[in-house]
Amino acid sequence: MSVPHWPAPVAHAPVDATVALPGSKSMTNRALILAALAGEPVRVVRPLRSRDTELMAGALRALGAGVRDEGADWHVTPPADGALAGPARIDVGLAGTVMRFLPPVAALATGAVAIDGDPRARERPMGPIITALRTLGVEIDDGGRAALPFTVRGRGAVDGGAVTIDASGSSQLVSGLLLSAPRFAKGLEVRHEGPPVPSAPHLEMTVRMLREAGAEVEAGEDVWRVGPGALRGGERVIEPDLSNAAQFLGAALVTGGRVTVPGWPGDTAQPGDALRGLLAAMGAEVTLGADGLTVRGTGAFRGIDADLHEVGELTPVLAALAALAEGPSRLTGIAHLRGHETDRLAALVTELNGLGGDVRELPDGLEIRPRPLRGGVFRTYDDHRMVMAAAALGLAVPGVLVENPATVGKTMPGFTDLWTAMLGAA
Ligand SMILES: O=C(O)C1=C[C@@H](OP(=O)(O)O)[C@@H](O)[C@H](O)C1
Ligand SMILES: C=C(OP(=O)(O)O)C(=O)O
């Protein structure tokens, strides 16, 4: 059955809104893994409820952890004596966090754990984590593909030790190994060798959340060490998803209005925090105060030259904003986005140019020259952030029809309602 396109609403006046955002995908899925591996129950406070996090909860339940609703929170009970067990079939959907964080957990379980996902999941980089787990003595049947689908045949324990991997394709390859490492008998040293690892804040998030759960972690230049030891229970409070704030805050810039996101943390490892500097560079007035982060349009709307290597997931929305700005932009350091939910560089070039834009793909990014855009269908390639990017464009371009808007449910099922409510407040 074909789903109708979503006509992205035009802003007929400057937005003036306060938008409370759901929890961070990256923090929720880390908290769930660390809780399932802990020695005591954990309450995950204000988790994100979305496709990616429900898939993670389902995967951990399939291995014997209890994950149950307690109001808006999740109460996680690790299996008795930490004894995770298959056999199980795990669906990772298109979630990078599930496909990279779950296999090391499966290695700690007993029995065959078959892991697969959406067709595109089979194309996302997985080889380095499969090789690393094998180096640590874990048996994996991947039919020689070095990709999904594969089966992990865990023995209930992993010795641990040292591995070297090339994580230039995704920081999640390192995070996945580190998150399970406290349960490895000897802990783990992970060393990266290769072109630079992207998404440094996400690695910092992994280190911080491991420490918060009681793990001993040392982080150096391209080397991380996690000591063996029990992870503790208690409460893990999830921050609002700051990357998912991009299009809402961007709306203030596009319309010359004001948007406040309450609960913006003063000290965070989320890459979305970089929006403060990036939107200011594009001309917004940005203030962080007790009521949250407020972005105001000032009338200036400049293009930017930005290296987004550390904050790649902000690219689709920033590219949409750049297409509406007064001057050209260069977004670089993001070659690895070709391995995301879709090839994001190709998708952005195709869809922005399809509306009359002038976007050129660079070896490691995008060059965007603003031009008057026209309405038309904006394809989203099963990529939640393409829906968010299209919504930002639609503020200023009448007739943007967003294909398969439900795909935004990967990280934000309530997106179109929140978006409409923000505009309704204008
Ligand atoms: O660890 C995480 O939670 C994430 C790391 C990043 O992945 P890459 O390093 O593959 O870009 C980011 O893009 C993704 O949305 C979430
Ligand atoms: C790259 C992203 O997701 P994933 O966790 O699937 O890698 C993203 O959310 O932009």
Does residue 159 lie within any of the structural domains? Answer: yes
Does residue 1 lie within any of the structural domains? Answer: no
Does residue 233 lie within any of the structural domains? Answer: no
DSSP state, residue 195: S
Whether residue 256 is found in the same domain as residue 220: no
Domain span at residue 41 reads 25-226
Ligand 2 within 6 A of CB of 313: yes
Whether residue 13 is found in the same domain as residue 102: no
Binding region for phosphoenolpyruvate: 25, 96, 124, 172, 344, 385, 410
Does residue 231 lie within any of the structural domains? Answer: no
User: Structural domain tally of the chain?
Assistant: 2
Whether residue 75 is found in the same domain as residue 117: yes
Whether residue 210 is found in the same domain as residue 269: no
* Contact of 73 with 45, CB cutoff 8 Å: yes
Whether residue 105 is found in the same domain as residue 197: yes
Note the pLDDT tens digit of each residue in 205-233. Answer: 999 999 999 999 999 999 999 999 999 99
**Looking up tokens 């930017």, which residue turns up?**
304
Whether residue 16 is found in the same domain as residue 56: no
Note the pLDDT tens digit of each residue in 106-136. Answer: 999 999 999 999 999 999 999 999 999 999 9
Say if pTM beats, i.e. exceeds, 0.80. Answer: yes
| 3-state DSSP helix/strand/coil % of the chain, to nearest 5 | 40, 25, 40
Burial 1-14 (b: 16+ CB within 10 A, else e): eeeebbebbebeee
- Please name the residue whose Cα sits nearest to atom 7 of ligand 2: 96
Mean pLDDT of 320-326: 98
Mean pLDDT of 76-100: 97
Q: Which residue is catalytic, options 239, 313, 341, 351?
A: 313
CATH number of the domain that residue 169 is part of: 3.65.10.10
Q: 226, 251, 286: which is the final residue of a domain?
A: 226
Q: How far apart are CA 96 and CA 341, in angstroms?
A: 8
- Give the ipTM: 0.99
Whether residue 160 is found in the same domain as residue 271: no
Residue in 80, 76, 141 with CA at minimum distance from that of residue 114: 141
Whether residue 209 is found in the same domain as residue 274: no
Ligand 1 within 6 A of CB of 170: yes
Average pLDDT, the chain: 97
Q: 199, 226, 253: which is the final residue of a domain?
A: 226
Does residue 340 lie within any of the structural domains? Answer: yes
Q: 187, 204, 226: which is the final residue of a domain?
A: 226
Look at residue 1 and tell me whether its pLDDT is greater than 90. Answer: no
Whether residue 11 is found in the same domain as residue 42: no
Ligand 1 pocket mutation pick from 126, 199, 210 by most atoms within 8 angstroms of CB: 199
User: What integer pLDDT is reported at residue 385 of this predicted model?
Assistant: 98
Whether residue 216 is found in the same domain as residue 247: no
- Give yes or no: 313 in active site: yes
User: What integer pLDDT is reported at residue 425 of this predicted model?
Assistant: 65
Q: Which atom of ligand 1 is nearest to the CA of 26?
A: 3
Ligand 1 pocket mutation pick from 30, 244, 313, 410 by most atoms within 8 angstroms of CB: 313
Whether residue 125 is found in the same domain as residue 257: no
Q: Which of the four pLDDT bands, split at 50, 70 and 90, describes residue 19?
A: very high
User: What integer pLDDT is reported at residue 4 of this predicted model?
Assistant: 86
Whether residue 250 is found in the same domain as residue 172: no
- Please name the residue whose Cα sits nearest to atom 5 of ligand 2: 96
Does residue 81 lie within any of the structural domains? Answer: yes
Binding region for 3-phosphoshikimate: 25-26, 30, 170-172, 199, 313, 340
Ligand 1 within 6 A of CB of 341: no
Mean pLDDT of 38-50: 98
Q: How far apart are CA 281 and CA 302, in angstroms?
A: 7
